[in-house]
Amino acid sequence: MKLQVVRTQFGIDATNGLLFIDGVFECYTLEDQYQAGPKIYGETCIPEGTYDIKFRKTGGFHARYSERYKNAHYGMLHLQDVPNFKFVLIHSLNNDDQTMGCLGVGNTQQDLDVNKDGLITQSRDAYKRMYSKVASVLLQGKEVTIEYSKINLDGELSNKSTDDVIGIPQVMKQLESINEKVSKIQFKLSGKVIK
C-alpha cells in the first residue's frame, strides 16, 4: 500500500496537504510549517521523501489511542527513519500546535490565509477511516509506505477551458435558442400564429 501526502499550501505556522491511498483521495492533512534552513523543534514539517510505516506499540499516544479505540487499535502508525526526527506518527489533531512533526488528518481543512495555525476538523472520523485501511494491510505483514511531496506549480496555470468543456458563451447561446423556441410555443398556445 502506498500513501501519498501532497503538500498544497505553505503558511508561516503550518502546512496544508492532501492524503491519497493508492492514488485515491482519502482526507486532508496538516503539519508544522516548512523550514528552508535547519529544523526547529516543534516547528518544522518532515523532509520530502518516502518512508516505511510500522506499528509503534509504546508511548503516550499508543496508550491513549488503545483506550479510545479499544480493539480497533493495533499500534500507532509510525514513520520509519525520518532524518533528524524521532517518533513521527499519523494521528488526529485540529491545529499545528498539536503536532511536533507528525501528520494530522481531517475531513475538512481551512485555508492558511484565514488561520495561520491551520485547522482541520472531523479529525477523529478521518483518522479512524484511514487507520482501518492501513492497519489491515500492516496486519497482513505487507509493506506500507508514505511519500511526501509538494504540489507541482511549475507549469502555467490557466482558467481557460479546454475544448471538451462547454464555456459560458456556448451556454448563453444555447439558452438564447431555447428561450426563442419557448416564446414561439407560448405565442402558438395563446392563439397567435408566428411564421
Q: Is 177 or 89 the better-scoring residue by pLDDT?
A: 89
pTM for this prediction: 0.75
- In which band, very low, low, confident or very high, does the pLDDT at 152 lie, cut at 50, 70 and 90? confident
Residue length, the chain?
195
Q: What is the mean pLDDT of the chain?
A: 86
Q: Is 53 or 163 the better-scoring residue by pLDDT?
A: 53
Average pLDDT of the residues in 51-66: 94
* pLDDT single digits (tens) 3-35: 999 999 998 889 999 999 999 999 999 999 988
Query: What letters, b where the CB count within 10 A reaches 16 and e where it falls short, cover 101-124?
Result: bbbbbbbebbebeeeebbbbebbb
Q: Is a pLDDT exceeding 70 seen at residue 156?
A: no
pLDDT at 109: 93
- In which band, very low, low, confident or very high, does the pLDDT at 142 lie, cut at 50, 70 and 90? very high
Of 55-59, 70-74, 87-91, 169-173, which range is least confident?
169-173
Beta 49-56 vs 108-109: how paired, if at all?
A: unpaired
Q: Is 191 or 23 the better-scoring residue by pLDDT?
A: 23
38, 19 in Cβ contact below 8 A? no
Q: Rounded to an integer, what distance in angstroms lies between the CA atom of residue 16 and that of residue 7?
A: 6
Average pLDDT of the residues in 139-156: 85
**Cell 472520523 found at:** 125
